[in-house]
A and B are shown apart, each in its own frame.
Chain A
């Protein structure tokens, strides 16, 4: 370890001589600052000061900076300070890495209330812009779809197949598991709560209708929004950050066609399949629980289920799936395009993508529920 920086002041005939010793290096940390402060305080009030650098063992750029800052501060206080006995390399360092006065940063003062109002206004405004963005994208995609519909060869089926595998096949275990659990929980609660009215067998109707109409597609969409929506945003976002999207554009390739379209198509195919898997898992969960918990034989469960649900019950859930898929894909890819240069903005956009998709999935499910009730399906 090197010797700590130190200052020895000595008052002579024509001013004060400040002898510096030790290692004036940044590794000294606070000691460097306090030594520099003692340098200024020792010479304050004197007419002349000589800063004697002979005893300095080591000096780095930070050391040069504090010494030179002390000299500048003394000069401001009317003390003429000069260096003495500097080794050539130290003299060069003091010149090259010396103190330069900083202009103080501009302080912008705003009232917290104004900031709050401004932030609220900005949020509302950008929310409106987001909506326009999404509609904009939807329009572009519809236009492209109508253009590409006639040329199925340009549909990038390899990319679609690749994404289909990642989005659907790889999500099957987790989707099946959570929906199995949801089916089990709904049935268990149904049996338990309906037992008070002596109607526990109707738990089969509950899990059948609720599971197929709402829960299967809802849980799947939320899971896909979290799992796949975030991945799409992160992929497109990091491609955006690394100018890969710009590279596509200058090759006269449309990022919408190359990147977003295959993902949207894959999602629109994947989500109905996964919803079907989810429906089956929900019913399986219901069957197991009613068998184990309420002692209902599987044949009884199935025959009750057959009388409780119709093909429409199953189709209501399935019809919603592609709409959810397009919504999730659109939100995820627009957010991906919003990513700017920093890692922070990538994180913000991925979060926004997941939150917005889940919110919109639930809103859309509500709209569909009203619609199907109105058309009496």
Chain B
């Protein structure tokens, strides 16, 4: 792991509101091609960290490097390029309410790239199909969508430019277990095929077990623990213990050990099928 490329490097980050310091000297590395799950108590500042990395909140101290660029010293041109290379799924979707679903998905492509209309329509339809939405959703407005559909459209928009990093802020909250599982599968597939790097804030233990390569725990303004989930399961930290072995965690912990292996096996079987079939 030591030699892998770091796409986001956060050092000594301090973020505060008024007297309260939410991030106090936080260090974090995000490696290319990994899915990093981010957990922490409600109000611990997971969304604040995401928003700070995205440049939406001001930090008091520390450095944040994205793709090797210090985000404080970006030229407008570099900013534009980074905007093309990351996609964000906001917690509430943040869809443009006066545009249809199709226009929402097309907005990043239309603004950053020079593509024909048929291509834009085709790609929008493809992204919709990828996130598991029917094609007739394309002409709906965000106010006509259910919570789960909003999440999916928002993911489709985040994926529109085939970014290298995707930030997901509680992607599976508000989804039914089947959709949440499909969501996990989709993220897993994209990570395998595109080498997508995923920064995921989540409370969904299933997601953590199913797709996260590493899990980082946020506590007291720092990353208090980070590592593969199997390591965290052995942690003696009381909060981590109650998080994974608490009332809701204990059922899954029993099946956790074998699950990643199973999934890898399934994935390989799928590759073989595709190659053998040849279309």
- Residue ranges of A at the interface with B (Cβ–Cβ < 8 Å): 25-27, 29-30, 33, 60-62, 65-66, 69, 71, 82-84, 86, 88-97, 99-100, 102-103, 105, 340-345
Contacts and interface: CB of A to CB of B under 8 A. Distances in A.
B278 A342 contact: no
B150 to A, nearest CB: 11
Given A92-B274, A99-B122, A103-B135, A26 B162 contact: yes
Interface string B95-132: 01110000000000100011110010111011101100
B165 interface: no
A91 B274 contact: yes
Contacts of B97: 341-344
Nearest to B164: A60
A238 to B, nearest CB: 11
Contact of B279 (A25, A88, A94): A94
B74 interface: no
Interface string B138-160: 01011110000000000000010
A92 B142 contact: no
A346 to B, nearest CB: 9
Nearest to A25: B162
Interface stretch (B41-49, B187-195, B198-206, B211-219): B187-195
B184 interface: no
A95 B143 contact: no
15 contacts: A26-B123, A27-B84, A33-B116, A33-B119, A60-B194, A62-B123, A82-B279, A88-B274, A89-B192, A89-B194, A91-B275, A92-B189, A94-B279, A97-B126, A105-B139
Given A91-B275, A341-B142, A342-B97, 16 more contacts: A25-B162, A27-B84, A27-B113, A30-B115, A60-B162, A60-B194, A61-B123, A61-B130, A62-B123, A62-B162, A89-B194, A92-B193, A99-B126, A103-B135, A341-B97, A344-B98
Contacts of A94: 274, 279
B143 A29 contact: no
Interface of B: 84, 96-98, 109, 113-116, 119, 121-123, 125-127, 129-130, 135, 139, 141-144, 159, 161-162, 189-190, 192-194, 270-271, 274-275, 278-279
A311 to B, nearest CB: 53
Nearest to A61: B162
B275 A86 contact: yes
Query: Do most interface residues of chain A lie in helix, strand or loop, or is the interface mixed?
Result: helix
Contacts of A93: 193-194
A3 to B, nearest CB: 17
Query: Do most interface residues of chain B lie in helix, strand or loop, or is the interface mixed?
Result: helix
A88 B278 contact: no
A88 B274 CA distance: 8
Contact of B115 (A33, A69, A82, A345): A33
Contacts, number: 101
The 10 closest A-B pairs by CB, nearest first: A341-B143, A344-B98, A60-B162, A342-B97, A88-B271, A91-B274, A93-B193, A89-B193, A29-B113, A342-B98
Given A62-B162, A88-B275, A342 B126 contact: no
A95 B192 contact: no
A61 B126 contact: yes
A377 to B, nearest CB: 49
Nearest to B116: A33
Given A94-B279, A100-B129, A341-B141, A29 B122 contact: no
A60 B84 CA distance: 14
Of the candidates B116, B129, B162, the one having the most CB atoms from chain A within 10 angstroms of its own CB is: B162
B113 A65 contact: no
A92 B271 contact: yes
A103 to B, nearest CB: 7
A27 B161 contact: yes
Contacts of A88: 271, 274-275
Given A60-B162, A103-B135, A82 B193 contact: no
B82 to A, nearest CB: 13
B152 to A, nearest CB: 15
B278 A82 contact: yes
Nearest to B162: A60
B109 A61 contact: no
Of the candidates A27, A66, A340, the one having the most CB atoms from chain B within 10 angstroms of its own CB is: A27
Contacts of B125: 100, 102
B122 A91 contact: no
B265 to A, nearest CB: 14
A61 B274 contact: no
Nearest to A90: B193
Contacts of B129: 100
A27 to B, nearest CB: 7
A95 B115 contact: no
B142 A30 contact: no
Contacts of A92: 189, 192-193, 270-271, 274
A94 B125 CA distance: 15
Contacts of A96: 130, 189, 193
Contacts of A86: 275
Nearest to B84: A27
A34 to B, nearest CB: 10
Nearest to A102: B125
A95 B190 CA distance: 12
A61 B84 contact: no
Contacts of B271: 88-89, 91-92
A61 B127 contact: yes
Contacts of B113: 26-27, 29
Contacts of B127: 61
B141 A95 contact: no
Of the candidates B113, B126, B270, the one having the most CB atoms from chain A within 10 angstroms of its own CB is: B126
Given A82-B279, A88-B274, A65 B123 contact: yes
